[in-house]
Amino acid sequence: ADLLAVSARSAPLGARLVLLLVEDLTEARRIEAVRRDFVANVSHELKTPAGALSLLSEAVLDAAEDPEAVTRFAGRMQNEATRLTNLIQELIDLSRVQDNDMLSQAELVSVDELVTEAIDRCRQQADDKGITIASGGTAGLSVWGNRGQLAAALGNLVENGVNYSPPHTRVAIAGSLVASAGGEQVEIAVTDQGIGIPETDRQRIFERFYRVDPARSRATGGTGLGLAIVKHVAASHGGEVLVWSAEGQGSTFTLRLPEPGSARERHLAVRRDR
C-alpha cells in the first residue's frame, strides 16, 4: 500500500485514477477476508460448546445408574451452556457497538453509575474468589456517550481483572480528569494484581477472539471478544484504551475519553452536518 501511495503521487492523472481503483479493490478484498475470517471464527467458537453439550448429554444418559457421574456431567454441561450464552451475548454487544448510530443515543453519563454497574456485573465472581473491588476518584466525573456501550466496556475491564487474578487479591477502579495536548480527558483505570500479560501479546489482545491462554480463558467462560468491544467503544467515543502490565504482578487497563463538554459539542456538530 505504501508503494502504491508513493507511485500514485508521481503518476499522471489517468494512471493515478487506475491506482486508486486498485487500492479500493485491495481494501474491499481485505474487508471481505476479515469478514470471512470472523464468520469462520464465530462458527468454530459456537461449535465447540455445542459439541461438548451434545457429548455430555450422551454421557448423562449412559450414566443414568450412577448419580455421582450424572451430577459431574451436569456441572460441566452448565459450564458449556454458560460459555455459549456469554458468547452469544458478546456477539450481540459487538454488533451493537459496531453500529455507529448507537451514538445518536448519547447523553451525559455519570462515571459513578458506570462503576456501580460494572461492579454489580461481577460481584458474584469476585465474592466467590474473595476478591475485593474498590473504587475512588469517580465522584462528580461524567462522560458523554452511549450509556449501555460505556457500561459494557467498563464491565468487561473489571470482569477481566477478576477473571485473571488469583483469589484474595484486589481490583481497583480509579477515575481522574487529566490534562493533555488535546484538552482535558477523563480517565478510568482498572488495576488488578493478577497474572499479567506477556509483552508479545499486549497489542494483540484487542483483536477479536485473541487469547493469551485459550484454555484458561475458556475455563473462566471467556470469549475473546471483551477487549475488542472495549476498543470499539473507546474509539467510537473519540477515546482510546491503554494497557500496562507486568507478568506475575498485574495489569492496568485505562479507558481514556474526551472531557464531556467538548465531546458533546463535537458530537452535536457532526449530527448537524449530516
Binding site for ligand ADP (CB under 6 A): 156, 160-161, 164, 192, 194-197, 205, 210-213, 217, 222-228, 251
- Toward ligand ADP, which CB reaches closer, 29 or 168? 168
How many C-beta atoms surround the C-beta of residue 58 within 10 A?
Answer: 11
Instruction: Write down the least CB distance from residue 98 to ligand ADP, Å.
Output: 15
Instruction: Write down the least CB distance from residue 45 to ligand ADP, Å.
Output: 10
Q: How far apart are CA 260 and CA 70, in angstroms?
A: 54
- Toward ligand ADP, which CB reaches closer, 93 or 192? 192
- Toward ligand ADP, which CB reaches closer, 72 or 170? 170
Instruction: Write down the least CB distance from residue 142 to ligand ADP, Å.
Output: 25
Quick one: cell of 7? Answer: 507511485
Q: What is the DSSP string of 30-61?
A: HHHHHHHHHHHHHHHHHHHHHHHHHHHHHHHH
Instruction: Write down the least CB distance from residue 241 to ligand ADP, Å.
Output: 11
- Toward ligand ADP, which CB reaches closer, 116 or 210? 210
In sequence order, which residues have a C-beta less than 8 Å from that of residue 204 and are 6 or more positions away? 210
Q: How far apart are CA 252 and CA 171, in angstroms?
A: 10
Burial class (CB in 10 A: 0-12, 13-18, 19+), 9: exposed
Quick one: cell of 268? Answer: 452535536
Q: How far apart are CA 249 and CA 1, in angstroms?
A: 40
Closest listed residue to residue 166, CA positions, set 135, 195, 132, 125: 195
- Toward ligand ADP, which CB reaches closer, 16 or 129? 129
- Toward ligand ADP, which CB reaches closer, 20 or 88? 88
- Toward ligand ADP, which CB reaches closer, 161 or 258? 161
Instruction: Write down the least CB distance from residue 34 to ligand ADP, Å.
Output: 17
- Toward ligand ADP, which CB reaches closer, 256 or 267? 256
Strands 170-180 and 183-191: antiparallel
CB 115 within 8 Å of CB 173: yes
CB 20 within 8 Å of CB 12: no
Instruction: Write down the least CB distance from residue 30 to ligand ADP, Å.
Output: 22
Instruction: Write down the least CB distance from residue 227 to ligand ADP, Å.
Output: 3
Instruction: Write down the least CB distance from residue 1 to ligand ADP, Å.
Output: 28
Q: Which amino acid, one-letter code, is at 192?
A: D
Q: List C-alpha distances in Å: 130 to 155, 161, 172, 235.
A: 18, 13, 14, 34
Helix (H, G, I), strand (E, B) or coil at 159: helix
